[in-house]
Every structure is written in structure tokens, then in C-alpha cells.
Amino acid sequence: MKIRTLVITGAALLLIVAMGSTGWLKAQTQKPETALHPLVTQEQFERWQTELNNWGRWGKNDELGTLNLVTAAKRKQAIALVKEGVTISLASEIPIEKGPDVPCPAEWAMLSLNMDKIAFPCIHGPGLTHLDSFAHVYFHGKMWNGDLVSDVVTKEHGPTKSSIIVMKDGIVTRGVLYDMARLKGVPYLEPGTRITAEDLEAWEKVAGVKAGPGDALLLGWGRWVRGKKLGPWNINAQTAGLDNSVIPWLKKRDIAILGWETPTYAPKPEGDLPGSPVHDFALTMLGIHILDRADFTALSEAAAARKRWEFMITIAPLTIPHGTGSPVNPIAMF
């Protein structure tokens, strides 16, 4: 019995040492597999739209949603996380050539030897890192806070409420990276992988941090690593992403920004909800602005090297008066 006890203790000590080394997350390859969630039904999804929405929480005329939780105190907390002054971009390069993963590239050209132009035919394209406004999606003819789309949006003039312009002063808050590929001990997750609340909480135990009120939760699964290894592919047909069952979890956490590399998982199982339910629910019902199609590759490496998964993040959209979104270059600072 004594020998067995010593062996167990020794293994535990080796695990502790591994957790303190540069390869500390490799120990997670022995973690138990997360039980597969049943699919969220249309009935559940419809019920959550009434039970979980944040409409009216900050007044009937609110246009900021959970960004109201990014207070002066929250910004000071984020600034206090900066110890080295090291900055890291979270944006992919603006795509200017069409490809399997870029169906709608930006239009760029030189006008003269000292002047060029750029245009964005589709702000919400899958190849462009961008910030979504609440005017981007609707449920049953209503947008964030219950505003009727017919009252505030026209094809000629765009949205007169909750457009990207409401964020023109920029966003500065605490960011927390949830590195799902690192949690699983792989370079990237396979397409169709559904990331659950249990996965997110498993990461929190490993990393020792978690996102809460007013924070930016950044979800990485290795999209850009996969693309570098295997080449471009139809990103809308093959991707990993948050399971629809995380919606109540997101409501509870009260995060201000939800950032990811892709908005859903595909291919979807038979009988699953169509489209991107988490994306649409977060914007329209929870009032969470979305940082879409970001690139967390360099951030993952920097965070792992420091064993620090929290940092200050800044996001500054273009001041488009009636924009449904904007290209952005988010910056993480350690």
C-alpha cells in the first residue's frame, strides 16, 4: 500500500510540474470526453427568446446592450492587466482575392503612385474580421431591445438606430481567450465540432481565468491554423463553433463582447437548428456585440508563452453612420 501511495503522489507531482512548464496544457490530453449534448429544439429556442432576452434592461431606447457593463472601472481593470506593453493584432489580413473561404473579397487598387482605394462589397463576409452591430440580424421583424425593423431600418438609408456608429468611441475592456484546440491537445478542431458550456468551463479550470460581466470572451478553435496546413476551404460548410446549448450560459455570464473565428459549426447534425442561432441570439436577444472572423493564432501563442489568458483588448470600428458592421483590427495588449 505504501508503494502504491508513493506512485500516485509522484504522478500528481509530475502533473503539477507539467502544468508549470511551457507544455503545461499537454496534460489535458487525458481529460474525460465531454458528453454530447442533445440538440436544442426549435421549441426551446423560441422559448429562450422570451425567457432569456435582455430587452428593456437598460431602458427602452438602449443601443449598447451589454456594452453598458464596460464601465470606467472596467476599463481601469483592463488597463491594469498591461504589464509589458506588448501588442498583438487579432485581425486576419483583409482579403483582396476571391477564394473558397473568401466569396466576397475587398476591392483594392492603386489610383496613382501615391494613392490607393479600398471598398468592402460585403462587411460581413467570412474572410473579413469585423464587428457586428445590432442592426445586422433580426427575429420575427424585431431587432435588439424589441425595436421594429420596419420603424428603424430602410433599404435606402439603412438603420437609424443601433448601427455601428454607437460604438465610435471604441471598446476597451478585459479580454479572455478560450483556446479550445489547446484544451483538446490538437492544432485545430475538426469541422462539425460542437463546443459546449462544459468545454468552456473545463478551459477555465485549466487556464485559471474566466470571462464575466463586461468582458470580451474570445473563442479560438484553430481556423487559421487549419487553413495554413490544409489550404483554403469553404469555411461556411466545414467549421467548429459554439453549441446552441451555450445560450443560457452566455446570458448568465453577462459578457460584453463575444469574439470568434467562425459563428457556428458545420456540417450540422440532422434535425439541428438552421443558420447561426448563437450568433443571432447573442446580437438580437442578449445584446452582445460580436467580433466575427477574428484570428487568434498569434494571441494563442503569446498567451501560452506567458501562461496568461487575460489581457486588455481594444476594438475601434469605423465611424459608419448607418453601418450594420465595420472592419476592425482588434488589439490585445499584455
Exposed e or buried b per residue across 264-283, where buried means at least 16 C-beta atoms within 10 angstroms of its C-beta = bbbeeeeebbeebbbbbbbb
Does any domain span residue 152? Answer: yes
pLDDT reported for residue 292: 98
- For the chain, what is the domain count? 1
* CA 126 – CA 98 distance, rounded (Å): 11
Could you tell me if residue 169 is inside a domain? yes
Asked if 217 and 310 count as a contact pair (C-beta separation under 8 A), the reply is: no
Q: Is residue 215 part of a domain?
A: yes
pLDDT of res. 85: 98
Name the residue among 294, 225, 305 with its Cα closest to residue 259. 294
Q: What are phi and psi of 188, to 5 degrees?
A: -160, 155
Instruction: Give the number of other Cβ atoms within 10 Å of residue 7's Cβ.
Output: 10
Kindly list the distances between the CA atom of residue 225 and the CA atoms of 236, 295, 297, 299, 310, in Å, as whole numbers in the listed order.
Answer: 16, 9, 7, 12, 21
In a domain, 18, yes or no: no
User: How far is residue 49 from each of residues 69, 132, 169, 247, measured CA to CA in Å?
Assistant: 21, 20, 30, 10
Query: Is residue 252 one of the residues assigned to a domain?
Result: yes
CATH of the domain at 75: 3.50.30.50
pLDDT given for residue 25 in this prediction: 46
CA atoms within 13 A on the CB side of 42: 5
Is 182 exposed, middle or buried (CB count within 10 Å of its CB: 0-12, 13-18, 19+)?
Answer: buried
> Would you give per-residue pLDDT tens digits along the chain (334 residues)?
433 333 333 333 333 333 343 344 443 443 434 446 899 999 999 999 999 999 999 999 999 999 999 999 999 999 999 999 999 999 999 999 999 999 999 999 999 999 999 999 999 999 999 999 999 999 999 999 999 999 999 999 999 999 999 999 999 999 999 999 999 999 999 999 999 999 999 999 999 999 999 999 999 999 999 999 999 999 999 999 999 999 999 999 999 999 999 999 999 999 999 999 999 999 999 999 999 999 999 999 999 999 999 999 999 999 999 999 999 999 999 9
Find the domain containing 298 and state its range.
Answer: 42-333
At residue 37, the pLDDT reads 83
Residue 10 lies in a domain: no
The pLDDT tens digits for 30-85 are 343 444 689 999 999 999 999 999 999 999 999 999 999 999 999 999 999 999 99
Domain-located, residue 33:
no
Residue 334 CA to residue 82 CA, distance in Å, equals: 5
- Does 243 map to a domain? yes
